[in-house]
């Protein structure tokens, strides 16, 4: 039996194609970059229909003129084809796709809730049994796909271990399955201190409990009756300490057996850091053994950035630094190949957990439904710098971390403008070389969601000097409902550093001591805002290969990219210089991009710079973080 779920979806779109196909997709199967990429390779243009006027303009100016010479696949966002103009509706083929058809022997309501990774895992199972009831299907998924043998749990240690394993999964488990798991475990749990509902649904609650319980365990003499002595649980705890989910505590080591020292602050912190980096490298290498999707790339850059940040604290990083540098080269090659195949599909995708690309930030935040929202855009912030900032702020705030994709070329005027306009770069072609229109675009963006300009604020050039609450309009005007705030200190440090990423690390550490960001976050939260942090692009430490003086540059500091208004000129330059041609995905006409290769920059030969504009993973995938007040752990 062919269980490949993507192939089953693509079977609906076999040649010969209709010029126009209307597709209803209530389960969002077309929100998969692999499917969209395959359709694009077949010459099919995917278009989400959400506004009659916008669609009509595109249809008449682009499609009817046949400038794209492609068949068109229209997906009404409401999944109601009657919204589509009649002349297009009547001349189109209409199809419907759903998850129900993919695994017909399993419960349809449960399959409907499964994420793409779970569907991938199911596609590898050759003997899926008939499990038509909800509970039978959930039981099959928990045991066979998620490897959570919940029915064999019979001790407090095993309950805790299952909760840990639940959060180590790469799958997004549906709420209905979590509730089933909670109900079963509550019947098995004999420790009233375990809040299993919270442990299963929120990893931060689980880790906070384990951190507190670890201190209690050691300070009380590591009683042999404590659940932490369970061998499998002890191994799991050691893993959490190695990757930084739990933090070692200070306690007299002589009274403890060696088997518990992984959770104690070492006298030799250098060795502890090296071991932590090695653990991160091991996890990344395991991820690279299989095909990686966009969500996995976000997880990977988080792990890599943490390892890199830990390395900056080492006194003698040479050996482990070489390992990390080699791994970085492997990552960059894999990521570059993935971008070529899948980047073009990202702009049309949506995700309930994070905006897939930066032009979806406003839409995503709007859909969260909060009455007041503040989006802090930290210009130039990469995941590496975010890990450093998070470490400094995590004692005061809780973070729900994710990532999103910047626009290529990763220049401020290209990618930051996408955040504030809510549009792809092609839509703001006339201002793509400047950020001067961002306030106007920000207010127009939110006007589409029904927020009048009087309730919207845009503020930039924040982060420098002393923090003054009174000068932040989002805090001084009670009428504000949407705040866009640009903190550009990281970008300024990026372009003035003379010691690469290690030098930036030290400069950011000094800036964090001013507590500007801490104060801004606290005041916004106290004022009732839902607060998000993101970035327009990251940055890459690179070595100069020589300047290119030809072409035009949208951002004079984008030392890893050149922009040409002629494809011929761009291609001629590509033959002369070490560089890569970038396809103009989502970009205006006459905007041709030449990027530096990984680790190289178009500056004086041999000069070390931290810059942006290119396609490295550190430039393209940026943090998207929800900030909350620090959760208090009950005593």
pLDDT tens-digit readout, 418-448: 999 999 999 999 999 999 999 999 999 999 9
Which residue pairs, CB below 8 angstroms and at least 24 apart, start in 240-244? 240/164, 240/207, 240/210, 242/275, 242/276, 242/279, 243/276, 243/279, 243/280, 243/283, 243/303, 243/306, 244/276, 244/306
Identify the pLDDT of residue 47: 81
Q: Mark whether 478 and 624 lie in a shared domain.
A: yes
Name the helix (H) or strand (E) containing 105: none
Clarify whether residues 513 and 399 are in a common domain.
yes
- 209: which 2 tokens? 């409990």
Cα pseudo-dihedral 538, 541, 543, 547, rounded to 10: 30
DSSP three-state, residue 401: strand
Please report the pLDDT score of residue 70 as a whole number.
Answer: 72
Which pLDDT belongs to residue 635?
Answer: 37
Tally the domains of the chain: 4
The DSSP bridge pattern shows strands 608-611 and 540-544 to be antiparallel
| Domain end residue (candidates: 45, 72, 101) | 101
Do residues 362 and 442 share a domain?
Answer: yes
Task: Report the side by side order of strands in the sheet with 608-611.
Answer: 600-601, 540-544, 608-611
Contact by Cβ (8 Å): 438, 444? no
- Per DSSP, the three-state class of 593 is strand
Strand partners, 563: 552, 593
Q: Residue 138: which of 152, 163, 156, 118 has the closest Cα?
A: 118
Interatomic CA distance for residues 229 and 238, integer angstroms: 12
Residue 434, CA distances (Å) to 309, 358, 437, 534 in order: 32, 17, 7, 20
- Name the nearest CA neighbour of 431 among 569, 567, 591: 591
Give the pLDDT confidence score for residue 633 in this predicted structure.
Answer: 46
Contact 397, 521 (CB under 8 A): yes
Identify whether residues 512 and 429 lie together within a single domain. Answer: yes
Among 345, 375, 395, the domain boundary falls at 345
Q: Is residue 66 part of a domain?
A: yes
Burial of 474 (0-12, 13-18, 19+ CB in 10 A): buried
User: Within this chain, do residues 340 and 398 fall inside the same structural domain, yes or no?
Assistant: no
pLDDT at 594: 95
What integer pLDDT is reported at residue 1 of this predicted model?
A: 39
Same-domain pairing of 520 and 530: yes
Q: Is residue 316, in this structure, part of any structural domain at all?
A: yes
Residue 266 is encoded by which pair of tokens?
Answer: 């070492």
Gyration radius of the chain over CA positions: 26
Residue 143 belongs to a domain: no
In this structure, is residue 258 part of a structural domain? no
- In a domain, residue 208? The reply is no
Return the ∠ at Cα 308 (arms to 305 and 309), rounded to 5°: 85
Residue carrying structure tokens 């297009």: 88
Judgement on whether residues 338 and 478 belong to the same structural domain of the protein: no
Q: Where do the DSSP E strands lie in 442-521?
A: 456-462, 482-487
Are the C-beta atoms of residues 232 and 165 closer than 8 Å to each other?
no
Domain assignment present for 511: yes
Say if 175 falls within a structural domain.
no
- Contact residues for 547 (Cβ-Cβ < 8 A; gap 6+): 602, 603, 604
DSSP label at residue 99: G
409 contacts 614 by C-beta, under 8 angstroms: yes
455 and 491 both lie in a single domain: yes
Q: Is 359:419 a contact under the CB 8 Å cutoff? A: yes
Strand positions, DSSP E, 297-444: 373-378, 397-405
Q: Which residues contact 217 (CB under 8 A, 6 or more apart)?
A: 223, 226, 228
Kindly give, in sequence order, each residue whose CB lies less than 8 Å from that of residue 617, ignoring residues fewer than 6 positions away.
Answer: 297, 300, 301, 304, 331, 332, 335
Q: Tell me the per-residue pLDDT of 287-302, one tens digit each, with 9 for 90 and over.
A: 999 889 999 999 999 9
pLDDT of 69: 62
Tokens of 456: 């919207």
The reply to whether 491 and 581 lie within a common domain is: no
| 502 plus 427 within the same structural domain | yes
**How many Å apart are CA 170 and CA 298, to the nearest integer?**
12
CA-to-CA distance for 391 and 558, rounded, in angstroms? 28
Q: Are residues 324 and 422 in the same domain?
A: no
Residue with tokens 């919940």: 150
Q: Tell me if 441 sits within 8 A of 428, measured CB to CB.
A: yes
For residue 205, the tally of other CB atoms under 10 A from its CB is 18
- Per residue, the 3-state secondary structure of 193-209, as one string, reads CCCHHHHHHCHHHHHHH
Beta strand 621-629 with 397-405 is antiparallel
Question: Which residue range is the domain that position 286 belongs to?
Answer: 271-345
- Residue 631 confidence (pLDDT): 67
* Low-confidence residues in the chain, pLDDT < 50: 1-2, 553-556, 633-635
For residue 233, being part of any structural domain is answered with: no
Could you tell me which residues come within 8 angstroms of residue 219 by beta carbon, excluding any fewer than 6 positions away?
Answer: 251
Sequence-distant (6+) residues with CB within 8 A of 85 are 52, 55, 56
Token reading at 564: 């040409």
Residues 516 and 402 in one domain: yes
pLDDT of 580: 96
- Among 101, 131, 153, the domain-final residue is 101
Phi-psi region at 496: left, alpha or beta (left = phi > 0; alpha = psi -120 to 50): alpha
């Amino acid at each position: 039996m062919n269980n490949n779920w993507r192939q089953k979806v693509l079977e609906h779109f076999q040649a010969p194609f209709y010029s126009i196909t209307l597709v209803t997709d209530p389960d969002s199967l077309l929100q998969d970059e692999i499917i969209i990429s395959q359709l694009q390779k077949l010459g099919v243009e995917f278009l989400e229909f959400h506004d009659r006027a916008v669609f009509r303009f595109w249809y008449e100016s682009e499609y009817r003129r046949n400038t794209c010479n492609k068949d068109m696949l229209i997906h009404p966002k409401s999944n109601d084809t009657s919204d589509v103009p009649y002349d297009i509706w009547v001349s189109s083929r209409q199809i419907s796709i759903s998850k129900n058809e993919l695994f017909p022997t399993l419960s349809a309501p449960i399959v409907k809730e499964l994420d793409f990774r779970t569907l991938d895992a199911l596609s590898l199972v050759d003997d899926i049994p008939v499990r038509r009831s909800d509970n039978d299907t959930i039981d099959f998924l928990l045991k066979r796909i998620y490897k959570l043998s919940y029915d064999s749990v019979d001790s407090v240690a095993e309950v805790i271990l299952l909760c840990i394993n639940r959060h180590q999964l790469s799958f997004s488990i549906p709420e209905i399955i979590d509730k089933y798991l909670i109900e079963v475990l509550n019947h098995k749990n004999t420790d009233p201190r375990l809040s299993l509902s919270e442990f299963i649904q929120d990893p931060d609650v689980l880790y906070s409990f384990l951190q507190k319980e670890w201190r209690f365990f050691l300070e009380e003499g590591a009683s042999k009756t404590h659940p932490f002595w369970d061998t499998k649980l002890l191994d799991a705890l050691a893993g959490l300490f190695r990757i930084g989910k739990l933090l070692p505590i200070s306690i007299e080591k002589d009274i403890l057996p060696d088997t518990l020292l992984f959770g104690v602050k070492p006298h030799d912190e250098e060795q502890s850091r090296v071991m932590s980096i090695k653990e991160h490298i091991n996890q990344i290498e395991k991820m690279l053994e299989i095909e990686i999707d966009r969500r996995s790339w976000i997880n990977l850059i988080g792990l890599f950035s943490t390892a890199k940040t830990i390395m900056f604290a080492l006194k003698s990083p040479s050996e482990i630094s070489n390992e990390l540098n080699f791994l970085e080269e492997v990552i960059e090659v894999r990521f570059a190949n993935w971008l070529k195949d899948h980047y073009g599909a990202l702009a049309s995708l949506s995700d309930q957990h994070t905006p897939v690309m930066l032009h979806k930030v406003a839409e995503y935040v709007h859909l969260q439904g909060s009455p007041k929202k503040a989006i802090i855009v930290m210009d130039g912030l990469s995941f590496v710098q975010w890990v450093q900032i998070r470490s400094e702020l995590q004692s005061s705030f809780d973070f729900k971390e994710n990532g999103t994709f910047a626009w290529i070329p990763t220049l401020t005027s290209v990618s930051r403008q996408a955040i504030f306009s809510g549009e792809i770069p092609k839509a703001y072609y006339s201002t793509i070389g400047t950020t001067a229109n961002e306030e106007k675009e920000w207010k127009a963006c939110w006007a589409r969601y029904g927020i009048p300009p009087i309730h919207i604020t845009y503020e930039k050039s924040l982060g420098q000097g002393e923090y003054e609450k009174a000068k932040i309009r989002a805090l001084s005007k009670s009428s504000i409902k949407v705040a866009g705030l640009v903190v550009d200190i990281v970008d300024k440090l990026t372009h003035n550093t003379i010691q690469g990423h290690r030098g930036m690390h030290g400069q950011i550490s000094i800036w964090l001591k001013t507590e500007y960001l801490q104060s801004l976050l606290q005041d916004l939260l106290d004022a009732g805002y839902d607060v998000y942090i993101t970035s327009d692009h990251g940055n890459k430490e690179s070595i100069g290969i020589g300047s290119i003086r030809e072409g035009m540059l949208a951002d004079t500091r984008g030392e890893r990219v050149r922009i040409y208004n002629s494809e011929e000129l761009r291609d001629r330059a590509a033959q002369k210089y070490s560089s890569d041609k970038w396809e103009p995905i989502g970009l205006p006409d006459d905007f041709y991009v030449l990027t530096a290769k990984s680790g190289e920059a178009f500056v004086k030969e041999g000069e070390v710079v931290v810059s942006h504009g290119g396609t490295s993973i550190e430039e393209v995938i940026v943090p998207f973080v929800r900030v909350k007040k620090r959760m208090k752990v009950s005593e």
